[in-house]
Amino acid sequence: MHPATPPMADERAAHDHRTLFSRRGLISRLVATAITIPLVLGAAACGGEDEPSDSAPNAPVELSVFWWGGEARAKLTEDALALYTSKHPNVTFKKTWQANQGYFDKLATLTASGDAPDIFQIDDNFLTEYASRNVTLDLTSYKDDKKLDVTKLPESLWQYGVVDGKLAGIAGGENTQGLVYNKTLLQKHNLPEPTTGMSWADFITWAENVSKVTKVPGTMDPSADYKAFWVWLRQQNKDLYKGKELGFTADDVTKWFELWKGARDRGATPTADVIHEGNATDITKQLVVTGKAATSFVWANQLPELKKATKDELGVVAYPGDPSAQWARAALYYSVFRGSEHKDVAVDVLNFLVNDPEAGKILGTDRGLPSNLDVRKSVSEAVTDPAMKLSIAVETELAAKFGPSPQVPLKGHSKIRAELIKAAEEVQYGRQTPSASAAAFLEICKSAIA
């Protein structure tokens, strides 16, 4: 499984010899910024959603599919698509995949040049952008007709694919935020483990005590982590986004930075240089597995990957505070290109990947916990990895406490995530006060979503 944000570890470059999209897309990269996607879509062969997409029920159909991931994900995806073809012999696939790095550059080039794949993988960093440019097909009518069945998905999970009232993508998997801790370290020193529902103040006090007893900082400093900031905001009856605007103020950011300045001053966290290491997205550099902190703020489904990097036993609970601030998050989505000549078939493939029990067994937990709860149950029963079992158990437990999903992030979300790291580090290194850094960060955020 993989965090949205960031896809599964060990991703590799795609098989270029299998890439079947037109190479003219590479040339268009040079002028892509001058081309607006809506204009290209207007010139696309198939036009809008009102036009019929499939000429005959059993006519030969070839669908192009594009996704990111490593070789393991590629094999699983290919096997699932082969299963679909075995059930629908008239449908075949052109399959292309690559590592996460550069994936969205390539997707932008393909959509701008008119070579967009019929089906593509996307995450919440970009879903709003592609939906607002009319790249993604609105799946609402298919959902209403149950051609895309969401009845076995948590409601908040499928709703996390809605942008401006349109269902722009269907969750290919689910994850949520998770606080991973070093269980071996705590047991060695007879210290209590963190628990779901403990307040932020209690958590920082707990971490301070861990630091004193074990001589290992009790927690990473998550002030640069947008996931932690987002959950904390929702616990304050705020949000990261509200409509087309930011859902927080400079005062909110100041309070967040001050919370963690206080934790650093009390010795609950490492020093700024070590905190900086923990801000890296590389799973192998998380402080809970490098031995530089007793906890790390990650995605719950990253526990198995973290376990590979340490011999210590790990545990996972919800982020501090009210767990109802967390939600069933789409680890990633499957979307259909609005200009596809075979929309109906493409949507049927999405329905198959999400809801078919056999496909679910093939795909397993590579893209997160299966979205369909029945499929999830059968897949979970077959899991043998202890870390994965724990991750599934915790997320299943949290599912009963999840609150409603927030809106999908606005365009500019990636910029905001990156700038939060910079702003938090200005405070961590003592170069700016919490209030000064918060004010500067807010102005950058406003510009990012404009």
pLDDT in tens, 32-90: 433 344 433 433 333 344 444 455 678 899 999 999 999 999 999 999 999 999 999 99
What's the CA gap between 107 and 169, in Å, rounded? 15
What's the CA gap between 180 and 53, in Å, rounded? 47
C-beta separation of 104 from 4 below 8 A: no
Q: Give the model's pLDDT for residue 446.
A: 97
- 437 and 300 in a common domain: yes
- 213 and 353 in a common domain: no
Whole-prediction pTM = 0.84
What's the CA gap between 249 and 265, in Å, rounded? 25
Residue 25, domain extent: 16-175+330-399
What is the tally of structural domains in the chain? 2
- What is the domain-level CATH number for residue 263? 3.40.190.10
SS3 content of the chain, % helix, strand, coil (to 5): 50, 15, 40
C-beta separation of 391 from 1 below 8 A: yes
- 230 and 186 in a common domain: yes
Q: At a CB cut-off of 8 Å and minimum separation 6, what does 42 contact?
A: none
Q: At a CB cut-off of 8 Å and minimum separation 6, what does 144 contact?
A: none
- 343 and 304 in a common domain: no
In a domain, 355, yes or no: yes
In a domain, 286, yes or no: yes
In a domain, 3, yes or no: no
Q: Give the model's pLDDT for residue 51.
A: 45
Q: What is the dihedral of CA 230, 232, 238, 240, to 10 degrees?
A: -10
Amino acid letter for position 188: K
What's the CA gap between 172 and 124, in Å, rounded? 12
Q: Give the model's pLDDT for residue 10.
A: 40
What's the CA gap between 341 and 373, in Å, rounded? 31
C-beta separation of 406 from 234 below 8 A: yes
Q: Which residue has the tokens 């997320």?
A: 395
Q: Which SS3 state, helix, strand or coil, does residue 94 take?
A: strand
DSSP H helical segments within 113-179, as ranges? 127-132, 140-144, 155-159
- 124 and 45 in a common domain: yes
- 380 and 290 in a common domain: no
Structure tokens at 82: 């082969």
Q: Give the model's pLDDT for residue 99.
A: 86
Q: Give the model's pLDDT for residue 32.
A: 41
Report which of 444, 447, 439, 443 is spatially closest to residue 257, judged by C-alpha positions. Answer: 439
Q: Give the model's pLDDT for residue 54.
A: 53
Q: Give the model's pLDDT for residue 55.
A: 55
pLDDT beneath 70, residues of the chain: 1-56
Q: Give the model's pLDDT for residue 182.
A: 98
In a domain, 369, yes or no: yes
Q: Give the model's pLDDT for residue 47.
A: 37
Strand partners, 332: 173
Task: Write out the H or E segment, with its range, that includes residue 170.
Answer: strand 170-175
